[in-house]
Chain A
Amino acid sequence: MHIPDGFIDGPTSLAAGVVAVGGVAVALRKAADDDLESRAAMTGLVAAFVFAVQMLNFPVAGGTSGHLMGGLFAAVLVGPWLGSLAITVVLVVQCLLFADGGISALGLNIVNMAFVPTFVAYGIFLLARKAAPATRVGLLSATAAAALASVVLAALAFVAEFALGGTTTVSLSTLSAAMIGVHVLIGIGEAVITTLTVGAVLATRPDLVYGAGQLELNEIPVLT
């Protein structure tokens, strides 16, 4: 999902860069309300884990692979503000140290992979969490649905950016169908990986799952 240089024109990339810088500033200010000292290492771990799992491309249909995007995963574990910062650091490290994702497209990639999943898809998670039973299964079901949605939404964000500043001429309906088709499949993988990992943390340290919030999760064991 990392956009390389040259796919999207300069003005659109620049605008996305401005949005990314502004978004990071807002996230830093909003995150200041959290208990930052105790969450610093956990946020680092979430970022490191997402970096590692993004290396594990899994095959999907038709000679295509996918990998965890991790935004929703990060938001469920450390909250949307710190989660967006964690994924932003992952993308910056991948871009500047590993030549993964274009430098001019860094803002686009931050918007698509850090902000859309942690803000928009996390909103879907909150709605689904309210609708689902206040149990571990309910929480994980909401996580799975939002994780799947996060990948499709990021794909749609790319289509919107391409509509604004694509450097080649491609029918938007064709592009939308192709992007949604393949990213629904990748989203299923995202949902499986996210749900299994959040479930594992929930089973061992439910107090470290930000997305569990104030719900009476009566099935969650308590560490004693």
Chain B
Amino acid sequence: MNARRSGKPPTTHGGPAEPKARTRRHTAGFLAAGLVVALVLAFGVSRFASSEPDGLSKVAADHGLDAREQPHALDDPTLRGTAPRSSTTTASQQGSPGTLGVIVTFCCTAVAVWLAAKARDKARRPEPAATPR
């Protein structure tokens, strides 16, 4: 029910902390659902993706921009199959590395932002006052 439209205040079933805790639970559920969707897209749906070259690759091939293209330094045979959109990657090879990529990306980003928050808090914390002797 839309509380703003109905004009009714939100119903609470506990103390003042209850709505905040409920919002936190909703957010956790939302994040978990979003992560599951990302994993399903990476693992399952990605195998139906188009294997045609993307816009830049096509323009580069058509106009010779790729004449001096160099191979990727990390593109060895063991890693080639893990490239999300490699032309040498078959559909069945794509899902598992994509899943790994989703998890690594989520963790790296969340940890980076969390570390930035900690660094900010540390920088803003006032110096403890010197104790008089």
Contact = CB atoms under 8 A, between A and B. Distances in A.
Contact of B56 (A1, A166, A170): A1
A63 B86 CA distance: 16
Nearest to A217: B4
Given A52-B39, A162-B65, A224-B1, A86 B109 contact: yes
Contacts, number: 238
Nearest to B33: A204
B74 A52 contact: no
Contacts of A54: 84-85
B80 A99 contact: yes
Contacts of A7: 60, 65-66, 68-69
A174 interface: yes
Interface of A is mostly: helix
Given A98-B83, A100-B83, A93 B46 contact: no
A66 interface: yes
B70 A36 contact: no
A4 B113 contact: no
A55 B74 contact: no
B67 A167 contact: yes
Given A4-B70, A182-B55, A43 B113 contact: yes
Contacts of B127: none
A15 interface: no
B18 interface: no
A58 B45 CA distance: 12
Nearest to A3: B56
Contact of A85 (B11, B64, B113): B113
B46 A55 contact: yes
Contacts of B94: 55
Interface of B: 1-5, 10-11, 23, 26-27, 30-31, 34-35, 37-39, 41-42, 45-46, 49-56, 58-60, 62-75, 79-80, 82-86, 94, 97-98, 101-114, 116-117, 120
